[in-house]
Amino acid sequence: MSKTISVAFASDDVLAMPMTVAIASLLATRAPDTMLDIHALSCGISKRSEARVRRTMAEHGKDVATLTWHPIEGARADLLQKLYTKSDRPYPPAAYARLLLGELLPASTGKVIYLDSDVVATTDLGPLWDMPMDDVDVLAITDLPHDGGHDERLRRTLSPEDVRRYGLDAYHGYFQSGVLVLALGPLRAGLDRELLDLLQRYPQLTFPDQDALNVVFAARHRLIDPRWNAPTASYWYKEGDETPYPPDVMQSLRETPFIIHFSGRPKPWEPGSTHPLAHRWQTFFEMTAWTSRKRTLLTRAIDRIPRARRVIGKRLRRLLKS
């Protein structure tokens, strides 16, 4: 019996290429009975980049996957730009776009697997999709390092009233938000507005969108097998170091990850990457329509322009408001 899995990405033109690679990995590793319902939230992805995403889908996803494009425009784009500008941190507007999944995805979609653009899947997403949500709204992995003091940091940042309101006076564990199974009903019932309001009230949050999710879903998430989101930090620990997980779990996390998350920099598509699984990313890159674009010093310089324009624009807006 076939199943349909809903997956969402949020990207701008800076990350359109790695998002395409992530999509290619899903198409390559899906089980024969799995249909993929892919949603791309676009925060300014160019027509040329969009065409490459669509060509990759047409070549590898025909009859087994659908792609729905969701341009973030008008008031929504203005809101995300405002959050980005007001925040003390560099995370772009696209980082906040997933908070709009409840209103952007069809009402018939009850849950979705959200993926950051800098991931690749090594196995079918079916087992992740089939995990029972029970009485929680989010499934995610524990952030690494296992205890980075995030709970205490959030308690110091939020008002005492909000600490009590969200139950942060109890320890719930801090989750990494690059891979999430997200129930959309609670977002549609008002939690999306709550998340956005929290970000506007606390622009000093260190990891803005991830922190907001951890606050609002503090007591409404469940931690799952870390192999579903194996971050680069997994490879920081040397033999003999105290690690976040038992040795067998750390070994499986490094050797047999289900989703590889190329968190941190440099990324596999950037000069100087030393990630031990960068070759896996390269394999899926070869499936995409981006292979026709030569990766030269010139194209890499051109690729930096959107990021530089975004940063300069933020600084100018902040300067004008000061």
What are the pLDDT digits (tens) for 119-171? 999 999 999 999 999 899 999 999 886 667 898 999 999 999 999 999 999 98
Instruction: Give the pLDDT confidence of 57-107 residue by residue, as tens digits.
Output: 999 999 999 999 999 999 999 999 999 999 989 899 999 999 999 999 999
- The token pair at 145 is 């390092």
pTM: 0.93
Residue-range domains of the chain with CATH: 3-321 (3.90.550.10)
User: Whole-angstrom Cα distance, residue 22 to residue 16?
Assistant: 10
What share of the chain in percent tops pLDDT 90?
A: 78
Q: CB 318: neighbour CB atoms within 10 A? A: 12
pLDDT band at 241 (very low <50, low <70, confident <90, very high): confident
* Distance from the Cα of residue 205 to its chain's centroid: 17
User: How many Cβ atoms are within 10 Å of 156's Cβ, its own excluded?
Assistant: 9
pLDDT at 181: 98
CA pair distance 173, 180, nearest whole angstrom: 15
Q: Band of the pLDDT at 285, cuts 50, 70, 90?
A: very high
